[in-house]
Amino acid sequence: MLVFKRFIVWTILFSITATQFLLYLPNFSCIVSTGVPLCMAQFNFSIVGTSAITRDFIDSIREFLRLISYLALDMKWSGATNPKIYSEKNLVDTFDADNLYKVNFFGYCKKNGNNRAYCVQNADSGMDVLGVLVRDVGIQLAKLSSSPANNTKVLGDSLMLTYHLTLSSLRKFLRGDRRNSNAFSKILLGADDTNTDNERASQYGKGVEIAYALKIFNKVLFYVQVCEIASSFLCLATVIGFGLVLTFGKRHRSLPFLLKTISSILIIGATLTLLGSTFYFFSLKLLEPSHDHSQSSDWALLEVTIGSGFIICCARYLLQLFFLPIAFLTANHYSVRKNSKHDPEESSSNSLAKSEIM
């Protein structure tokens, strides 16, 4: 009877821990183009330009990318001489309004209309939208080449590394340049009026700081997610080991303590991830165009929607919250107490057996 009771307890623990561990699998659904037909993203975004500033900004980037595309084709990266290769569909289309980016912790998928273009890993950049766009430019440029040696992932990684190094260097330089009354910024941005010049320099520095903060925030969130998944696996392994101990009817001090510790670490990591993802999502929502045109933001740049992966993350978190008190109660009940040398369950069963004999 006692073995059956312990088996029921272990079955409940194992079912919950196995389920919450399996619910991490959707986080890896956006890293490959083949095999997995769905991308369960934390959020989806597309590029929009409803204000004059963002419209000019996006148009400028598109023209720049078109120039790079023509340059790549003219350098015969594609190895073709057909004039049709200069058509719009063959150029870098990263900032096209028709593109939808489905972003998760470990990668993203790009869709154009109803067709999925590709899915790719985003390394430790996580869900950094600027990093996603930079990597996509690298992948698009690599696709202009017909050479098998020109790997899209390699060029995407190279462009990301260049972006991060440039961003860090700009941030460091601009901070030092403020001591010289923004001398470099005045030369770079150029303005006849001193006040306008300082304002432009300030806005430029602010943009660099925001991009750098996005990079750091998403990198930290990425590693928190990695630690969370590792804690989830350790929690599952501990429950399996705990079940083996219960099978032999023994009480331990180390395994119950380990179960409580790992389940606590898991819920802390899950809380940080959920709060970080929620904060990041609402921060991106600030870049959305307002439905009230009189209050439309000057930086209405993105259209952001919640993804199915975020809903799964919330469901997994609720399951982990439910698991935590059960794990603590079970660990306390089946742990060795310092002031007790005997198993209360075994003592009660022995007393019952003696009473039946008498």
pLDDT tens-place string over residues 49-75: 666 666 666 677 777 777 777 676 666
d(C-alpha 181, C-alpha 319), whole Å: 55
Whether the per-residue pLDDT at 306 is higher than 70: the answer is yes
Q: The whole model's pTM is what?
A: 0.81
Whether the per-residue pLDDT at 78 is higher than 50: the answer is no
pLDDT in tens, 79-93: 455 555 566 666 778
Whether the per-residue pLDDT at 317 is higher than 80: the answer is yes
pLDDT in tens, 246-274: 777 666 678 888 999 999 999 999 999 99
Which tops the pLDDT comparison, 167 or 321? 321
CA dihedral 178, 183, 189, 191 (to 10 degrees): 110
Backbone dihedral angles phi then psi of residue 244, each to the nearest 5 degrees: -65, -40
d(C-alpha 356, C-alpha 313), whole Å: 53
Residues 6+ away with beta carbon under 8 Å from 349:
1, 2
Residue among 285, 215, 248, 324 nearest 45 (CA): 285
Q: What mean pLDDT is predicted for residues 231-237?
A: 94
b/e per residue 148-181 (b: at least 16 CB within 10 A)? eeeebeebbbebbeebbeebeebbeebeebeeee
Q: Is 27 exposed, middle or buried (0-12, 13-18, 19+ CB in 10 A)?
A: buried
Which residue type, as a one-letter code, is found at position 302? Answer: L
DSSP one-letter code for 250:
-
Which residue type, as a one-letter code, is found at position 235? Answer: C
Q: Strands across the sheet with 43-47, in order?
A: 115-121, 107-112, 99-103, 43-47, 302-306
| Site of tokens 């470990």 | 106
Residue among 157, 132, 159, 133 nearest 72 (CA): 159
